[in-house]
Each structure stands twice: as structure tokens, then as C-alpha cells.
Chains A and B, each alone.
Chain A
Amino acid sequence: MSDAIAVHLAPPSPSVPVVTERRWVRRLTIAVALAFLFLFVILPLAVVFVEAFRRGWGGYLAALQEADAQAAIRLTLTVAAISVPANVIFGLAASWAIAKFEFKGKSLLITLIDLPFSVSPVVSGLIYLLLFGAQGLWGSWLMAHGVKVAFALPGIVLATIFVTFPFVARQLIPLMQEQGTAEEEAALTLGASGWRTFLTVTLPNIRWGLLYGVLLCNARAMGEFGAVSVVSGHIRGLTNTIPLHVEILYNEYNFVAAFAVASLLACLALLTLALKSVLEWRHGADLAGGAHR
């Protein structure tokens, strides 16, 4: 008995951390990582804001209030307002089907969902031009019926939907697969309709994952450059989204305006990052199974 206590009272032998010898290695790798982060992320981000405010608040606000800039902001918001809900619906439908049912062509569907990640956005833009452009496959038919897709809002929306559709689906598929169908079946045996089951059981179980997917989808929808650049036709004040407008301003050596408008996208990125971190921190378990990007 007293022996046991004596052991506990004895000063703890100095613990030898396993990694002692390599402490300098650890420090070096951390330093390298931080240096890279500073050089390639923080510094450029700071430059955006420094350049944007080169002529003070007045110059910054003037650049944002200019008519073409306003048009670009409106267009970007419009495009996001259409393509994000569209992809929420698509993502929900696709992940629901993939996670809860067995059907032929399931693995093909999963592969197709990843397609936008592996195809260059410029190529996807070109495909839309080939389909809907004046010389395109359906171009003359559309022209005859007075529908303008390429070089107009519909084309931009379609291209944006294409490049952003994996985000919600990819987030939800593993989540729904992990949750299985037991809760839904329980709701059905209790008399709930399919729709009611979806609203009261499925949706609450995936809400945080869905929000996470929406966040990423939105950030990409507003920031997409390549695909939109091909189908937009760069018509000032009409078919320029924020990223396209930034490029135009920059090419015209209008640096302050270019960085001022670009700072909006930078703010969006920071906001997305912050919300994403909050989600991961507060609801990490509910996002589990999801591929964190």
C-alpha cells in the first residue's frame, strides 16, 4: 500500500518526447509551410486590398459604383441565384437516388458527376458554344425561335451550372450513404408520405452537409472564369460577370478599379472560408463522410 503511494509521490521521470531529435525538422517544415502560405496566399490577398485602396475610400467606392461594375455585380448575383438552387435540386436528387436506391447505371452517374472536376472549364464552355452558338448544333433552331443562349444570360447560367454541379452532390452522396434508409423506413411505417419523410427526416439529417455544399458551390459559381469567359462574349455592361469584368479592367490598365472589383471576390472567399470553418467546427460530425475540399 505505502509502496504504491510512494511510487505515485516520486517525481515523475522526465518524459522523453519521441520526436526530440527531430525537433529542428519539425520546425523547418512548419516554417516552410508558413512561408509558402504567406507568399502564395496571404501576400496576394493583401496586395488585392492594398491596390484596391490606392486612391482611398473614394476611389474604391467610385470603382464599385461605376455602371459597368454594377452591371457585372448584378449579373454575377443573378447567375448564382439561378445556378446554386438548380444545383441544390440536382445534387439532392442525384445523391438521394445514388444513396437510397439500386439501379442500373449508378456507377456511371457517379463518374459523370465528377466530370466537371476533370474537364477544363474552357472546354466545357466551348461545348456549350458548339451546342448553342450561332454556328452550333441547335443554334439556327434557337435563332429562329428568338432564343439567345450563347453570349447571353442563359449560356452563362448553363456553363456555371455545369462547372459547379459536383459540389452539392459530392458532399451529400457519402453523407446519405452513411445514413442509410432506416430512418426513412421508420417514418414510412409511421404513416408519413414520401415527401413528408424527405422534409422531416432526410433533410434535417443532411442540412449541415447541404449548407457546406451550397457554400462551396456558391463560391465557385461567383468566381468561375474559364467556362463563363468562353460563352459570355464579353459584352460590357451586359454579359460580363465580376471575374470577367476584373480582367477587362486590368487589361485596360485600370488597376485600382480592377483590384477594387476583385476585392469583392476576395471578400467572398474570406467569408466562405470563415463560414466553412464554423460549420466544420460546430457540426463536424454531421459533415462526416463528406469529402472535405
Chain B
Amino acid sequence: MGIRVAGVTKAFAGAAALHDIDLAVRPGELLALLGPSGSGKTTLLRIIAGLVEADRGQVFFGGLDATTLPVQKRQVGFVFQHYALFKHMSVADNIAYGLRVRTRASRPSRAEIRRRTSELLDLVQLSGYESRFPSQLSGGQRQRVALARALAVEPRVLLLDEPFGALDAKVRKDLRAWLRDIHERTGKTTVFVTHDQDEALELADRVAVLNQGRLEQVGSPDDVQDHPATPFVMTFLGQAARFPADIRDGRVLVRGKPVPVAASRSQGSPFQLYCRPWHLKPTAPGQGHQTGTISGVRRLGSMRRIEVLRADGAKLEVEVPLATSLRQGEEIGLEIVDGVLFPES
């Protein structure tokens, strides 16, 4: 079932948290809500769940207008940032809670509840832990119980608020793959909130980038990385250097030299050209669009990053092949081979 948010606006005590958000989550999709802390991700997720009321706007689940539906009736699976497991209940009771609170008419039998609980424990790889209490589990295990509890009620959609936020790096990596796997198996439409761009880009089918309560861009990981809609998306998703640029006769110029970037217009200034480390190429000193001295060489996976110190003190990062002959202290030129052009704001 898809989710659609239309014109949602929310302010807390006069301070705007969300401005006129329109977002459509496709059925069965895994969508990441990505943005810096305080950008309104949690608020948007809670509005979808019905935990927070929007000042304006609507929320749809499939064809159903859920705007006025209370949280209990929305049938969303919500996984809270700090798990929010019921401390005084065992793992099994936590998972069965959503089934037990149903009205008698729709409540499954005891045997059925037990069967479903153990099935879910299997799914989250926690069989044998049913009688443990939350305080006896690790962070990763608690997160898995929280997910099982949310799935137990067969929710229309799954909403996760920073699901890996409180876990250490190793557990995070493992859980990412595992969440992807669960998503494929259950096929539930899922929205998860994160401030970690790597997590969003690795895990999600599509990424919605939020900044100061505004939706900057929604697109596939490739889309947002290769065709960022705004300077914010460009800089938030990774390292980017910025160069003042002009357009003359349909060509983009940096320091008067043309760069191989398509111009959006035939004339104008000023513009800003944003370049990733792999958009810059070392050349001979004095050539290219920039010059500087190499102030550092690091290895980054299968590539090497060199840090180039410009005469004005600015530092540029450049990605080069592993087998480079460049050394620290060398003077080099840099050629811009690609980049993303934005009008100066």
C-alpha cells in the first residue's frame, strides 16, 4: 500500500517544522527520509503515523484518507528511535501486545497468537529469547524485537525512526543488510528516517532529502547523487568543492577557462560549480583550472585521495587511482572534468 502526503505543514509554538510537504511513497517501496538533525524527519514520520497532528495537509494510505484517523486506527508499524519496548513485559509479550489489545471479535486465539509470535521471533532471528526482558537484550536485539512487535499487527506500512541510530558501527552494518532482507521478504511499504547519507543511499529504493522542514529532492540513490536538485543535496550527500563560474556563449567557464559541463542557459553570472573529488583531475602545474600543493595523500578503499592546498588556504579533495606517483609537497594543477552547476543563491 502506498503512502501519500499532501501539503503537510506543521509548526511548534510558532517555529515552523515542516513547510508544505508533498511526498508519495510507492507500494512496496523502501524510502529513506534523509536530512540533518532538526530538519523535520521525525515530525513528518509521526504525522504519517498519527502521533502528531499536522496543522494543514492530508495523509493517504492507498486510496484511504487517513488524515482524521486516530493513531490506533491507522494500522502503522512504528519503530521508535530508542525502541520503546515495554520494560515490564517479556519479549514474547511485547510482540504479542498488538494482537492481545484487539477487540474480542478480531483477536486471534491464544494458540494463533503464540504461533504468530514464534514465527516473528524466527523472522528477526531471536528464537529462544521469548522469555527474556528488554533489559537483558543488546541494542541490536532490542531493535529487532521492536520491529517484530511492529510487524505483528500486520501493519499497512512500516515506519522506522533512525532504526540504527543508537547502535555501534558494526551492528549497524549487519542490521542494514538484515532490514533490506526483511523488507524483501515482507514486501511492506517502508519509510525509514536517517541522518546518515551512506545508510540512506545503500539501503533505500528512493531517498527523500529534507532540509529545514522543506523537501529538497526525492529520487533514486543514483538520481540524488548524480543529479542533485539543490546545492544542499549536493553538499549533504558528500564532499563537494565549490567554484565561482560564468556562462558565456553557452559555455561554462571557471577562471575564464571552459569546463566540460552542460550550461543550463546561454549567458549569465554568477554561478557556482560544485565538484566531487572525482570531478577533478591532476595535471601539470600551471595547467587546468586550479593550482595548489599536495598537502596529504590518503588511501580510501580502492582509490587514493589527495588533499590539495590552494594559495588562498582553501583545501580541495581529489580522487586519483591507487597507483599514483603523486607525493606530498608536490605542486600540481587541477582540471575540472565534471560538476554540477547551480545559480548563486
Q: Which residues of A contact B (CB under 8 A)?
A: 182-183, 185-193, 196, 200-201, 204-205
Contact = CB atoms under 8 A, between A and B. Distances in A.
A191 B87 contact: no
B82 A186 contact: no
Interface of B: 49-51, 71-78, 80, 82, 84-88, 97-98, 101-102, 149-150, 152-153
B102 A189 contact: no
Given A205-B87, A205-B88, A190 B98 contact: yes
Given A185-B51, A190-B149, A200 B82 contact: no
Nearest to A204: B88
Contacts of A192: 72, 97-98, 101
B84 A185 contact: yes
A161 B85 CA distance: 36
B97 A190 contact: yes
B72 A188 contact: yes
Given A183-B87, A196-B101, A204-B88, A189 B51 contact: yes
B88 A193 contact: no
A189 B49 contact: yes
A225 B25 CA distance: 67
Contact of B84 (A186, A196, A204): A186
Given A190-B149, A191-B72, A201 B86 contact: yes
9 contacts: A185-B71, A185-B84, A190-B153, A191-B101, A193-B72, A196-B101, A201-B86, A204-B88, A205-B87
B101 A183 contact: no
Contacts of B72: 188-189, 191-193
B153 A191 contact: yes
A189 B71 contact: yes
A200 B98 CA distance: 12
Closest 3 CB pairs of A and B: A190-B98, A182-B84, A192-B101
A194 to B, nearest CB: 9
Contacts of A183: 84-87
B97 A187 contact: yes
A183 B82 CA distance: 10
A185 B153 contact: no
Contacts of A191: 72-73, 75, 98, 101-102, 153
A105 to B, nearest CB: 16
